[in-house]
Each structure stands twice: as structure tokens, then as C-alpha cells.
Amino acid sequence: MAIWRVPARPLPMGPVLFLDRDGVVVEDRHYLAEPDDVALVAGAAEAMAAARRAGFALVGVSNQSGIGRGRITAEQFAAVMVRLDGLLAAAGASFDAFAYCPHAPDAGCACRKPAMGQLDELRAAVPWLPEQSWVVGDKESDVALGRRAGLRAIHVATGHGTEEMAAVQAAWGDDPLVLAAADLPAAVQMILAATEEGR
């Protein structure tokens, strides 16, 4: 497991929005290696900024098997993240913390989603209230990670979302804490509405 960013001091315990990167925040480019290829999903930065204004910390959790497969280097990943951070910062939506798994799927690691390694590593720096926190992703593994951690989950249709829909429905279709949305902006609207209802 690797960390790209953690806050200088632990954040106060509170609501956290955990976000997959590729296909949720940025357009999925299949082993994104070049900073110039970073393109935000439409409305993603503005949605993240709205969540931050509502009191959510923004935390990225991402499987980056391209590193373990030798398709991209750690340096290329870091350069992509710097570019992404600049785009998000312009909207007031930078990640407070970002963890990623650099291993290939067959590595047997404890950090590839839906394993809990990324969340376990982040817990001290970004403690969260499970009943107030959410995960948003485009794959069944994102949903599974969230539910294992006791979080509500939203599966979005962007990225791999459409092709993963059947798997999510089969695994989580009866779970009332697993929702579906068109994209990250729609997911954040649902989250903010649910937050308001809970107050």
C-alpha cells in the first residue's frame, strides 16, 4: 500500500467522502500515465468542492495495478497526481488524503480493493464517522470496500460503472445502503440530501 498524501496533522473525526479516482473523478484512460491526459469527469471538481463545504473530508482510495504490471512507473503516477491536484485545487477540491495500491491483482497484497489495507492505513490521519461517511466508485470492489468498512456506498455509471452494474446488483442489490447514481455530481447531490435529512 502506498500513500500519495496525508494531512500534516490528523483531521478531526467527522464525515469522509472516499472516492475512487479513475472513472469517478477523472476520465478512465486505462493506465493513465501522462499528466496531459488527465481530464476531469464533468462536474467532478465542483461536486467535491460542494462536499467539502458541507463538512466532508475528501479522501482518494485507488487501485493502480498499472504500476505492478509495469505499464506505468511510480514517477508517472506521481506526475499524474500533481496534475490532478492542480485541477482540483482550482475548484477548492483537493484531496485531503490519497492512498493507492500499486500491486498487480495476483500479488496477494492486503491493500487492493476490496481489501481494507488502504482504509486501515488512512484511519489515523483521517478518522471517520462510519454512519456519516460514504464511498463512491465505479466498480463492485469499491462498493464492497465501503460496505466492509460500514460505510454507505454509491456506484456510479461513469468509467467501468456500466459494465460493473450487473456485478454490483448481484452482490448488493438487496442492500439499502448501496445506491446508484449517474456520476459523481449526482452522487454528491444524493449524499448532501441524505446528510440534510439526517440533521
pLDDT digits (tens, 9 = 90+) for 86-118: 999 999 999 999 999 999 999 999 999 999 999
- Residue 14 inside a domain? The answer is no
Residue stretches of the chain with pLDDT short of 50: none
- Our answer to whether residue 22 is catalytic in this structure is yes
| Residues of the domain holding 107 | 2-7+19-198
Catalytic residue among 22, 138, 142, 183: 22
Count structural domains, the chain.
Answer: 1
CATH classification at residue 42: 3.40.50.1000
In a domain, residue 12? The reply is no
> Given 20, 96, 142, 183, which residue is catalytic?
20
Confirm whether pTM is higher than 0.95: yes
pLDDT at 199: 64
Do the domain assignments include residue 60?
Answer: yes
155 occurs within a structural domain: yes
Q: Decide: helix, strand or coil at residue 97.
A: strand
For residue 143, give the 3-state DSSP assignment.
Answer: helix
pLDDT at 191: 98
**Residue 20 is a catalytic residue:** yes
Residue 197 has a pLDDT of: 84
Tell me if 161 is assigned to some domain.
yes
Q: What DSSP assignment string belongs to 2-50?
A: EEEE--SSPPPSB-EEEE-SBTTTB---SS---GGG--BPTTHHHHHHH
Answer whether residue 13 is part of any domain. Answer: no
Residue 135 placed within a domain: yes
